[in-house]
Structure 1
Amino acid sequence: MSRAVLPFALFLGLAAVTFGGRAHARVFDYKDSLLAPYMRATGGLSSLNQDAFAGTTGAGTSVDGSSRWDYGGELGLMLAFTPAFHLRVGAELLQHRPVADAKGTNAGGTELFTLNSSVSILTPTRLLSSYFGPRGLCATIFSPARAWPT
């Protein structure tokens, strides 16, 4: 195959794969079903910074590491009492990116220790919500929180 024909053949192959088949998705509607499993993932910048280990270094000692990212996931069930009133029950695991091999130094720059820190939280989720209005606005009615740091 010549070099001029190769890009055209790749384009045709990708077009056939992309537009040639039919895609199917499961659409959940509370009018048809009362119970559905769900999965949710989160991630982003962390506001934890050095809070997990800030009070452990002592006076005049600084640590050069911080937790910059966090991520998590949730698994659970959604239960519909009516099309506008729902209960969500699940478990969520939150994890901050671990700090590894952060150097702890004194004011003179002498290395005193190496720090490793990891924070993860397992929390049950319970949420009652109601959807109302012409646009289906959501209002959280009840959402107690309890977490277990690990």
Structure 2
Amino acid sequence: MTSIRPAEPGDVPAILALVKELAAFEREPHAVVADTAMLHHALFEERSAEAVIAEAEGRPIGFALFFHNFSTWTGKKGLYLEDLYVTPEARGGGVGTALLRHLAAIAVERDCGRFEWSVLDWNQPAIDFYRKMGAAGMDEWRVQRVSGQALRDLAGT
């Protein structure tokens, strides 16, 4: 039986391992620079993000990491899902559905105006799953990112 619970400080190594599995799945295994200290700081000290763990028989089989954003149009905070990952052996068993439903319940409980996330355009199984769950694609929007040296250049530092 699968259960979902808030992440605890002792879960950080498992969360990092799942993040690395996700990065490998997304074809960027070397892109993860986060370490356990960074994740611990973000989740349990700074509290800039939150995570939930999906477990079966006491072992992690998935996670979701999320944070609040804000919509000027709705005048409310939103819940933004940064990462959702289910281990390959647990896929197809309803874990992803349970994680999304759990986060939707958090969004409703916290009076969020929106629950949003991004998906890679080549990940058709995920896109199909999200459509089945009621998500609408925002295909007219394009994510923009500035990082690394470009971020420092933009900041003038």
TM-score range (shorter-chain normalised) is under 0.3
Whichever of the two has the greater Rg, that structure is: 1
| TM-score, L = length of structure 2 | 0.24
TM-score between both structures, scaled by the size of structure 1? 0.25
Kindly indicate which of the two structures has a greater share of residues assigned to strand: 1
Structure with greater helix percent: 2
